[in-house]
Structure 1
Amino acid sequence: MSDDDAPYLLALYEPDIAQNAGAIMRTCACFGVEAAIIEPAGFRIADSRFRRAGMDYLSGIRIASHDSWAKFETWRIESQRRLVLLTTSGETNLWDFAFARGDVILVGRESAGVPKSVSEAADTRVRIPICPPLRSLNVGVAATIAIAEALRQIGQLPQAEAGVSKSAPAL
């Protein structure tokens, strides 16, 4: 899928954990979603833990890297893309939010989320409801749920033939 065909972009704000980021990139590749990392990250893209979690799926996705939040935000505004922040303090329930093609879905750092200035820059803040008193999902799990819901809304969830992907290994 070319970048122009990707319905959404998933952006990671200063990710801390290489394995989570690699797994998120793998999810993006599997669902045909663009990906971006907003630096500084707590690891290098060449980190073996990042590569191991992303497996050979990383070759199937272009990962844009932005040197800073300011540079990412300039790019986003110039691209006229809406910013949807996934946060535990979101005012809108994920299931009630209407995604639009081209949206940027932003997830925060595993250790600290995003700063107030980043949250305020978002066009909307959405949350995934979970059972109280639990606080949050793993960032990779939350990102996957949001991507799947966004793709479902526009009718672009991938369809496997006969329930099995052609590239899936036989068990």
Structure 2
Amino acid sequence: MSSHSERNDARRGKNTRGPGRFPKRAEAPADDWLWGWHAVAAALANPRRAKPQRLLATADRAREIERRFGRLPALEVADNAQIAQRLPQGAVHQGVALKVEPLESAALEDFVAEPGAVLVMLDQVTDPQNVGAILRSAAAFGARGLILQDRHAPRLAGALAKAAVGAVDAIPTAQVVNLSRALESLAESGWRAVGLDGAAEASLEEALDGGPTVLVLGSEGEGLRRLVAEHCDVLAKIPMPGGFESLNVSAAAAVALYAATRARP
């Protein structure tokens, strides 16, 4: 039977295990690291990335990295437990983790308005898993970029990058101060904004015209904020004959991106 000194003392709110038996997990904010093979490999392959600060990999992953990217000074061979110690609890790292400077924000001027071009704008969508899944769909359907408000969006690392499966480095992301002003600037460049709103009269199919389109999606529950909605050229809904009131925002983004793909000339 374990002694009191070897148990977690919930009353005191601290761990009273003997020293050295279980190493303390290192403090590792989720926005400091990328993990998962696809996310890390995409970052290493991206010429827009700064040099890695640290790259932890199991022996097998280290050999794979060297085959694909050559010798990297930042590479350190570590076992799975050692890698896990550098990451947030429960991170599924697949034998590799990378600490690197964040990507620089894209500029709105980088997004050229061409027939069939699609951008995605997120209004206060803050869940990293949702944003990561939206980036993955954006990459799959050939979107030109993602636009986020810098104060109300998760950083493009950690669990978000893992969910995006490499799309963080495939899709340029612009982080802007004000979404309404961003929509004004994009409109001047020839973009047309289609906001998704479950209460809209027009269907998404009716709203899409095949021209350069910004798909604007709001947070679950609150939807688009008033000023953002007012800066959209049209509001549209995704018809749902099955009777469910709404889709998860990442699922709605995937449906909207597919619809926009079909509307391309």
Report the TM-score when normalising by structure 1.
0.79
Structure 1 CA distance for aligned equivalents of residues 152 and 255 of structure 2: 23
Structure 1 residue identity aligned to 2:155: R
Q: Is 1:13 the equivalent of 2:108?
A: no
Structure 2 CA distance for aligned equivalents of residues 3 and 36 of structure 1: 10
Shift of 1:12: 0.9
Deviation readout 1:30-58 (Å, 9 max, x if unpaired): 11102211232242223x12111112222
More divergent stretch after superposition (67-76 vs 135-144)? 67-76
**Larger Rg, first or second structure (1 or 2):** 2
Structure 1 CA distance for aligned equivalents of residues 206 and 180 of structure 2: 30
SS state of the match for residue 85, structure 1? strand
Per the alignment, residue 167 of structure 2 pairs with: 57
Q: Is 1:29 the equivalent of 2:154?
A: no
Structure 2 CA distance for aligned equivalents of residues 98 and 107 of structure 1: 15
Mind listing any 5+ residue stretches in structure 1 that lack a counterpart? Answer: 156-171
111, 117, 121: which is aligned to 2:227? 117
Per the alignment, residue 149 of structure 1 pairs with: 259
Structure 2 residue identity aligned to 1:106: V
Per the alignment, residue 38 of structure 1 pairs with: 149
Structure 2 CA distance for aligned equivalents of residues 96 and 74 of structure 1: 23
Structure 2 residue identity aligned to 1:90: A
Shift of 1:108: 0.5
Report the TM-score when normalising by structure 2.
0.53
Shift of 1:132: 6.2
Shift of 1:147: 1.0
Deviation readout 1:50-79 (Å, 9 max, x if unpaired): 111112222111111112224413422332
- Structure with greater helix share of residues: 1
Shift of 1:129: 1.3
Mind listing any 5+ residue stretches in structure 2 that lack a counterpart? Answer: 1-109
Mapped contact 1:14–1:42 kept (Cα < 8 A): yes
Structure 2 CA distance for aligned equivalents of residues 116 and 56 of structure 1: 33
Identity %: 27
Q: Structure 1 residues 119 and 78, CA, compared in 2 at 3 Å: closer, same or farther?
A: same
Per the alignment, residue 80 of structure 2 pairs with: none
Q: Structure 1 residues 111 and 16, CA, compared in 2 at 3 Å: closer, same or farther?
A: farther
Aligned length: 153
Between the two structures, name the one with larger relative contact order (CA 8 Å, sep ≥ 6).
Answer: 1
Mapped contact 1:29–1:57 kept (Cα < 8 A): yes
SS state of the match for residue 83, structure 1? strand
Mapped contact 2:207–2:234 kept (Cα < 8 A): no
